[in-house]
Amino acid sequence: MLQGKVALVTGGAARLGAATVRRLHASGARVLIHYRSSAAAAEALRDELLATRDGCAATIQGDLNEPASWPRLVDAAVDFGGGLDILINNASSYYPTPIGTATIEQWDDLFGSNARAPFFLAQAAADQLRERRGCIVNLVDIYADRPIAEHPVYCMAKAANAMMVKALARDLAPQVRVNGIAPGAALWPDGYMEDAERQAILDRIPLGRPAGADQIAAAVMFMVTGPDYVTGQILAVDGGRSVQQ
């Protein structure tokens, strides 16, 4: 389905990014796996994919808060695959910033990974994507619409990401489609969520379970390979949580 296509997935070494990388690869795409610090995981995933098909995967390290990384990633995709057809803006920082404790450094990090980097990476990739009539998929979040307590900076950054989907869909049309996926509870965050807090979230999900990474990756693939008359849309993959009172 995606034979001959080249995809760049930011934060592609683990979790939702890795699931998306595997889906794109299974559909025939060549995939450039971006990572910041997860070198071992990125290289293991690359080797897993290369064992099935020659030349189908590569890795690139980069700190997306560094402006020089944006054109460098696009250039790497062109060097790797001869062009760029699919940009998946997946990389994201996520942690609480309760009022009274938030810092400028946290603001810069959360807005940097969730809004600034995806925008400027899309801008750097725009000419390639226009030429090849490609697409962009942003990983947004249901919290862009309905904020979670004690995460105001993250929620504001994801709201900016959601508006980016709509603005870029307008400005890059008709050659490039831009859409988003807004996960609900997909994978639990590492390190700081208690069992009772997880259960409280599950109690607010009509389907009563987390999505898991593959459900989100499947939704990303719908935006990549589905109807090509869809642009500027954000699909909630949240088990019905966004309609729960």
Determine the residue type at 177. Answer: R
CA 20/CA 17 separation, integer angstroms? 5
Question: For the CA atoms of the chain, what is the radius of gyration?
Answer: 17
Q: How far is CA 158 from CA 5, 32, 33, 234, 235, in A?
A: 28, 24, 22, 12, 14
Rounded to whole angstroms, the Cα distance separating 152 from 73 reads 30
* Catalytic site positions: 154
Distances (CA, A) of 235 to 51, 181, 201, 216: 33, 5, 20, 10
- What distance in Å separates the CA atoms of residue 219 and residue 53, rounded to the nearest whole number? 24
Is 236:216 a contact under the CB 8 Å cutoff? no
Q: Nearest-CA neighbor of 9 among 167, 230, 216? A: 216
Strand partners, 136: 87, 178
Tokens for 79, please give them. Answer: 């060097």
Which three-class secondary structure state does DSSP give residue 23? helix
